[in-house]
Amino acid sequence: MNSQNNTPRQRLFTTNRPLTIREATIGDYALLTDLWKKAGLPYKPNGRDSLESIAREMQVGTGVFFIGLLEEMPVATVLVTHDGRKGWINRLAVLPEFQKQGIGRQLVSVSEAWLTRQGIGIFACMIEDYNTNSFMAFQKMGYLPFDGIHYLTKRLNPEI
């Protein structure tokens, strides 16, 4: 949502291809979850990916979901967030039949531009070790592996 007038931005980025990237609204919840499932992303509908959790995340103002459309057909999505110091590219999902066509790169570019407008100059992502395609794709976009960091997590509920 555009925080200044509470209306969704419909066109943020268009390429020579008919790809349009727009900000998602809570009305796009089923579309987002469908894209995640079709792209093979883990999905926790009873926890962090519930309608209520996504709605809350959209309201906070420290993140945005983008949807990539080819000729009005949803083919990709990404969640970009920040904590005031560092920006995170999360949940990048491109339908398998549209991968390796630069769509993910375009979503990351829009995400980085959004973070820059928020005053964030460090962009990061976490990629699980099985996901070598994403690891290589982010490296091609200039993201460098950072050795020496151990990612630890403590969850109050396995669904979050």
Cβ atoms of 137 and 104 closer than 8 Å: yes
CA gap 77, 49 in Å, rounded: 14
- Tens-place pLDDT, residues 42-81: 889 999 999 999 999 999 989 999 999 999 999 999 999 9
For residue 1, tell me if it sits in a domain. no
Distance of CA 89 to the CA centre of its chain: 6
Res. 1 pLDDT band, cuts 50 70 90: very low
We report the CATH number of the domain holding residue 25 as: 3.40.630.30
- Tens-place pLDDT, residues 119-146: 999 999 999 888 898 999 999 999 999 8
For residue 8, tell me if it sits in a domain. no
Pairing of strands 87-94, 73-82: antiparallel
In total, how many domains does the chain have? 1
Cβ atoms of 3 and 54 closer than 8 Å: no
- Tens-place pLDDT, residues 86-96: 999 999 999 99
Nearest-5° Cα angle at 150, 100 to 36: 35
For residue 125, tell me if it sits in a domain. yes
Task: Quote the pTM value.
Answer: 0.84
Domain range enclosing 135: 13-140
